[in-house]
Structure 1
């Protein structure tokens, strides 16, 4: 068996331990990437984000913001009632990667008929 085959098998056997796999799963969770996209345009209050994402419930948006905050991609600024959400430096660093992934995915994504 070739060394490359051994590497590939070992990689897929421990995929659950792979940081890239873990981050892709997190970012692929519904709404996470869209929240990041809208915050990349500048800080927004909860209501502003809710307006940008009209089909997400307030409960789910709150959960997504909390998860993004725990992962260090989003920070809440200001007092609770008037808080604005913004990308952290790690969140800003992630945006070129997400933008490149979006460009890469365009020709591979089927269009609605």
Structure 2
């Protein structure tokens, strides 16, 4: 009986603070403008900075660089130096990024059923 009571206590959500909640942290990060769209565009394969700029024409080059750096630091994309002249790099989804895109696809399906703000 004590084991069942302990399990029931563990099932109850613990109070969380925004600064100590991994879900809040990730939602805040993914909520930055462009992050989800960059991940979405990388589903089709590796792209260079200029290729991403072309499919996201409203993003400033500096902002795109900042977003790519953040996505790389979070382990969602991989930056690969290309053997080309002039020097160039490409960006692709990491395994964690591919996992997250699957979750974002589910959120998109859910969001289509929900009223828009």
TM over 0.5: yes
Deviation per CA, 1:33-58, whole angstroms, max 9, x where unpaired?
00000011110011000001000000
SS at match of 2:57: coil
Gaps of 5+ in 1: none
Of 81, 84, 93, 2:87 maps to 81
User: In the TM superposition, what are the counterparts of 1:18-33 in structure 2 within 5 Å?
Assistant: 18-33=21-36
Partner Cα distance (2:115, 2:19) in 1: 26
Measure, in 1, the Cα distance between the counterparts of 2:64 and 2:115.
26
Residue 57 of structure 1 aligns with which residue? 60
Instruction: List per-residue Cα deviations over 1:72-97 (Å, max 9, x = no partner).
Output: 10111124832110011110111110
- 1:36 corresponds in structure 2 to 39
Q: Counting helix residues as a fraction of each chain, which structure ranks higher?
A: 1
| Structure 2 unaligned regions, length at least 5 | 1-7
TM-score where L is the length of structure 2: 0.81
Q: Deviations over 1:14-68 (max 9, x none)?
A: 1321101100110111100000000111100110000010000000000000000
Q: After the TM superposition, which segments of 4 or more aligned residues of structure 1 sit over 2 Å from their partners?
A: none
Q: What is the number of residues matched between the two proteins?
A: 105
Superposition TM-score, scaled by structure 1 size: 0.83
Q: CA RMSD in A?
A: 2.1
Give a deviation string over 1:89-112, Cα, whole Å, max 9, x none: 11011111000001101121428x
Q: For residue 110 of structure 2, what is the aligned residue in structure 1?
A: 104
